[in-house]
Amino acid sequence: MQNTLNQSILPYTAKVNDQNHLEIGGCDTVELVKKYGTPLYVYDEEGIRTCCKQFKDAFSAYEDVSILYASKAFMTRAICKIIKDECLGLDVVSGGEIYTAINSGFPMQKCYFNGNNKTPEELELALYCNIGRITVDNFYELDLLDKVAKNSDKTVDILLRITPGLDCHTHEYIKTGQVDSKFGFDLSQIDEAVYKIKNEYTNLSLKGLHAHIGSQIFEKNVYTDLIGILAEQYHAIYEKYEIQLAEMNLGGGIGVKHTEDEDPLSIYEMANVIIAAFRENIDKYGLGKLKLAIEPGRSIICNSGVTLYTAGSYKQVPDGRKYIAVDGGMSDNPRPSMYQAKYTAIIANKANDKAEETVTIAGRYCESGDILIQDINLPEISSGDIICIPATGAYNYSMASQYNRVPRPAAIVVHKGRSDVIIKREVYQDLIAFDVIPERLAKSGCSCI
């Protein structure tokens, strides 16, 4: 079975050049740091495009598939342009993501709007731009969306998100399919929801069901089980309400490799499992022609992104750890602190050097928990060395903050020896751009000076 990019820690085009430097997209990372500074997010354009093609190829065995990039993983106008070029759709979860898609010229009919607490303003924006589908998460939203649609004189194509009661083996913070979840309708609530759509909500058109069971899924059977649960619901809805649902959305969640001890399934392996279960259940329940939709995000973007840092101070604890501090940390990658996420690292300017010491890579922020990697074997590190942490393309910039009033890093895309900025580095002026001193405070004085 062909390997796919979610199974490789380093980006598709990564290699070590003649200077013993890490190179990505034909660009020497040491030279990138000289040009753009650190911390720096670097994205391999060829890798992103190749992964999109692998998804399309892997699922091409089924005749009607929509592959939607889950933009919450990492979204900029440039990324939207790449996704559009590769003929994928978008899964968006906020008005800001919708606005970014519109501003990038993305075809909005290929966008699906998810989320458990969409605001009236966000729903109005979605209807205004003729978004393709809205995935409804609860009874409150059914009522709200119908009212918004009536006011807009539109009929909205919707999916119902359900919680199928499956508990996949991943971190509890990124599980979403178990019974006790903030997301979606419980299986016991589907009948009432369909009844209301058919008999009360005149501006909603039910097209199918949606289920997303979590992220970093490494097991096959959970998708087989999910499809079986959904197909049974499709059959029950047709039997009771004579509604022939047209599509089934399985969400995303396919695992990726961050460290050598992780062994995710390839995109092809996962596609084969999903397609086989899909066809089997269509035949079993007589569901007719049914579109399959999936929403990969992390598995498209994660392994095409790295973060570059500059090593600064160090500390050797007597009879303990050696800490190497970098110029970033939990503000540009909160995942180790939030999810206990594991990463590996490469010294970009000593890429092929042998490991000589065990160190802990610490961030610069005022938190003891600001540790990026604990106890990793690396070549001897000196201040000024460039530390590369791969597989950081997803949920890093998306979750970045200005904690400690540190500006957020720049992001660039590299391709065939060229580098281009896709997010500008913030500067101190950006930190105070939205600060306001009320007039009464501006006039006050201090008598203690």
The CATH number of whichever domain residue 372 belongs to comes to: 2.40.37.10
In a domain, 427, yes or no: no
Residue carrying the six token digits 């939990």: 330
78: left (phi over 0), alpha (psi -120 to 50) or beta: alpha
Note the pLDDT of residue 220.
Answer: 86
Q: Looking at the structure, do residues 173 and 139 belong to the same domain, yes or no?
A: yes
Q: Domain boundary at 398, 413, 432, which?
A: 398
In a domain, 29, yes or no: yes
Core vs surface per residue 247-256: b (16+ CB within 10 A) or e: bbbbbbbbbb
Note the pLDDT of residue 170.
Answer: 46
Note the pLDDT of residue 165.
Answer: 82
Residue 354 backbone phi and psi in degrees, to 5: -80, 150
Which residue from 218, 255, 260, 254 is spatially nearest to 344, judged by alpha carbons? 260
In a domain, 431, yes or no: no
Task: Tell me the whole-structure pTM to 2 decimals.
Answer: 0.95
Q: Looking at the structure, do residues 215 and 341 belong to the same domain, yes or no?
A: no
Note the pLDDT of residue 59.
Answer: 98
In a domain, 449, yes or no: no
d(CA 138, CA 116): 7
In a domain, 207, yes or no: yes
Catalytic position from the list 51, 366, 388, 448: 366
Note the pLDDT of residue 173.
Answer: 37
Q: Domain boundary at 361, 380, 398, which?
A: 398
| Measured CA angle at 255 (ends 251, 259), to 5 deg | 160
The pair of three-digit structure tokens given for residue 89, joined into one six-digit string: 């759709």
Amino acid at site 402: Q
Q: Which residues of the chain have pLDDT under 70?
A: 1, 167-180, 446-449
Q: Looking at the structure, do residues 330 and 283 belong to the same domain, yes or no?
A: no
Residue 139 backbone phi and psi in degrees, to 5: -65, -40
Q: How many CB atoms lie within 10 A of CB 27?
A: 22
Note the pLDDT of residue 6.
Answer: 97
Q: Looking at the structure, do residues 23 and 168 belong to the same domain, yes or no?
A: yes
CA 2 to the chain's CA centroid: 24
Q: Looking at the structure, do residues 296 and 317 belong to the same domain, yes or no?
A: no
Residue carrying the six token digits 């070590």: 16
Sequential DSSP letters for 70-109: EGGGS--HHHHHHHHHTT-EEEE-SHHHHHHHHHTT--GG
Q: Looking at the structure, do residues 238 and 351 belong to the same domain, yes or no?
A: no
Q: Looking at the structure, do residues 232 and 313 belong to the same domain, yes or no?
A: no
Q: Looking at the structure, do residues 263 and 130 belong to the same domain, yes or no?
A: yes
d(CA 346, CA 406): 24
Which domain range does residue 297 map to? Answer: 5-302
Q: How many CB atoms lie within 10 A of CB 310?
A: 18
Which residue from 207, 192, 253 is spatially nearest to 226, judged by alpha carbons? 253
* Spatial CB neighbours of 305, under 8 Å, sequence gap ≥ 6: 11, 41, 42, 43, 44, 74, 390, 391, 392, 393, 394, 396
Active site residue 168: no
In a domain, 443, yes or no: no
**398 SS3 class:** coil
Note the pLDDT of residue 172.
Answer: 46
Which residue from 63, 49, 71 is spatially nearest to 5, judged by alpha carbons? 49
Determine contact, residues 326/307, Cβ cutoff 8 Å.
no
340: left (phi over 0), alpha (psi -120 to 50) or beta: left
Counted domains in the chain: 2
Sign of CA dihedral 161, 163, 167, 171: positive
Residue carrying the six token digits 């500059």: 310
d(CA 128, CA 144): 16
pLDDT tens digits for range 41-64 = 999 999 999 999 999 999 999 999
d(CA 160, CA 68): 17
Q: Looking at the structure, do residues 225 and 168 belong to the same domain, yes or no?
A: yes
In a domain, 154, yes or no: yes
Residue 214 backbone phi and psi in degrees, to 5: 140, -175
Determine contact, residues 309/38, Cβ cutoff 8 Å.
yes
In a domain, 202, yes or no: yes
Note the pLDDT of residue 176.
Answer: 44
